[in-house]
Amino acid sequence: MVFINLANLYLNKTPPQLDDAARLLRRAISLRSDFVDAYQNYGSVLIKQGKLEEAEDAYRTALVYQQRNPDLYYNLGVVLLETGRSTDGVENLNKALLLKPDHAPSLFALASTLTDSTDATKREEGKRMLEQLASRDYETSKVNFALGMIETDLRNFTKAAMHYEKTLQLDKHHRSALFNLALLSRNQLNDSERAVPLLERLIQIYPDHVKSYMLLGDIELTERKQPEVASKLFRKAVQLAPSNVQAKHNLCVALAEDEELEESEKCLLEAIAMAPTEEYLREHLAIVRKRLKSD
């Protein structure tokens, strides 16, 4: 246990000192080949280092010594899923659940896998498992976000919004929940004004989140009819993502709506240079040039 405790000290540093932690855990294993806790901790470090094959070996070795340990089957299952072996991964998660039917991490991992399926029956089973975990208050933020995602996919938009709101009650800085709720509010629930403060909060917390500038700019342009404000937001999106053709095009449109026709023309020419095969850019350029001539 001394080596594990020392390894944890390295892991708790900022940033974590993974190599030093791994070295100590290898030392612990070399002194006692059946030290299952050391294998588990070592596997976790290897995953953080991106060494998934070595992590798999560590968990398989540990299972030689403890064949009825649900945590080991769970850890192995997750590694197998991460390496694209979903059938083997699910098999190991099910082994963990056979040993411990209420093993929450395995239930969550299995539910996440099932909800990603194209099979409606599997998706429904995954949703049921997530709801079971939510009722047990397991990783409430993570589970509610997953439920929000599946309800969105199922087009149950009001339920999805409820789950994203629960996620934000627990983690007010949850980037994906903030954006998904804003997108849902604007596009599916027809409530742009609800989306605006969410996007403003997102931009404040994550000032490099391009999609937030894009969506907020779209709301300012389309619903609020404020092209000047929209232009500023789209400019920021272009600044953050210079190769984003959609952001560039949106800026061009906002400039045209703000009667900045010459600047819009120049903007569209730059956009066409970025994406020469996009016909809609040429169509919009023709419209702007027609307006310029009429002026």
Per-residue model confidence as pLDDT tens for the chain (295 residues): 787 888 888 889 889 999 999 999 999 999 999 999 999 999 999 999 999 999 999 999 999 999 999 999 999 999 999 999 999 999 999 999 999 999 999 999 999 999 999 999 999 999 999 999 999 999 999 999 999 999 999 999 999 999 999 999 999 999 999 999 999 999 999 999 999 999 999 999 999 999 999 999 999 999 999 999 999 999 999 999 999 999 999 999 999 999 999 999 999 999 999 999 999 999 999 999 999 998 6
What letter would DSSP give residue 189?
S
Q: What is the dihedral of CA 16, 19, 21, 27, to 10 degrees?
A: 180
Residue of 44, 48, 88, 49 lying closest to 62 (CA atoms): 44
Alpha-carbon distances, residue 115 vs 67, 109, 152, 224 (angstroms): 29, 10, 12, 37
Alpha helices in the chain (DSSP H): 2-11, 18-31, 36-48, 52-65, 70-82, 86-99, 104-115, 120-135, 140-153, 157-170, 175-187, 192-205, 210-222, 227-240, 245-257, 261-274, 279-294
pLDDT at 126: 96
Question: CA-to-CA distance for 235 and 229, rounded, in angstroms?
Answer: 10
List Cα–Cα distances, 237 to 202, 214, 234, in angstroms: 14, 7, 5
pLDDT tens per residue, range 42-79:
999 999 999 999 999 999 999 999 999 999 999 999 99
pLDDT tens, position by position, 275-284: 999 999 999 9
Looking at residue 225, what is its pLDDT? Answer: 96
pLDDT score of 201 = 97
pLDDT of residue 7: 85
Give CA–CA dist 156/52, Å, rounded. 37
**75 vs 96: CA distance, rounded Å:** 9
Q: Are 77 and 98 in contact (CB under 8 A)?
A: no
- Cβ-contact 16, 10 below 8 angstroms: yes
Q: CA-CA distance, 181 to 145, in Å (whole number)? A: 10
DSSP state, residue 276: T
Q: Residue 12: is it exposed, middle or buried by C-beta count within 10 angstroms (0-12/13-18/19+)?
A: exposed
